[in-house]
Amino acid sequence: MAHIIYKELSYQVWGILLKAHKELGPYVSEKQVCDKIEHYLKLEGLPYSREYIIPVSFEGEHPGRNKADFLVTDKIILEIKTTRNLTPQDYYQMQRYLKATNKKLGILVNFRDRYLKPKRILNSSAKEED
């Protein structure tokens, strides 16, 4: 069986996403969703950073230009969208964030969908410790 990166933590985050979606529904703003997720992260006692600033990834890039919605337990980048559909650019954005932070796992989820379908995006070149 394949190794699942951060299995227990991923399930915990998934539970938080489900609770937030069930309570808010699909037609709220990204800020409202993030507020609710933050509420549940606090209740669960999970350490997190909201609007985590992604390090500069190339010379000349302005510091603080890119921000991930959440960094959970310094392991998982969580990116929330509230759009009609996820686009390839959303996936590329997560890949850039993972590479710039040297994190192994990102979770991308669109709250506009009737049913949540979080996408686990892996960074196979990450060298962080487990």
Q: Which two tokens stand for residue 63?
A: 């510091």
pLDDT recorded at residue 129:
59
d(CA 118, CA 6): 15
Query: What is the spatial distance between Cα 1 and Cα 49, in angstroms, rounded to a whole number?
Result: 32
pLDDT at 2: 65
- Residue 99 confidence (pLDDT): 93
Q: Which CATH architecture has domain 7-55+64-122?
A: 3-Layer(aba) Sandwich (3.40)
Residues 6 or more apart whose Cβ sits within 8 Å of residue 76: 6, 9, 10, 13, 103, 105, 106, 107
**Contact assessment for residue 69 and residue 107, using Cβ atoms and an 8 Å cutoff:** no
Contact in structure between 65 and 106 (CB atoms under 8 Å):
no
Strand 76-81 to 67-72 pairing: antiparallel
pLDDT of residue 60: 72
Residue ranges per structural domain of the chain: 7-55+64-122
Please tell me the pTM assigned to this model. 0.91
Other Cβ atoms less than 10 A from the Cβ of 115: the count is: 7
Rg (CA), the chain: 14
pLDDT (tens place) for every residue of the chain, 130 residues total: 468 899 999 999 999 999 999 999 989 999 999 999 999 999 999 999 999 999 887 777 777 778 999 999 999 999 999 999 999 999 999 999 999 999 999 999 999 988 999 999 999 888 855 5
Are 112 and 24 contacting, i.e. CB atoms less than 8 angstroms apart?
no
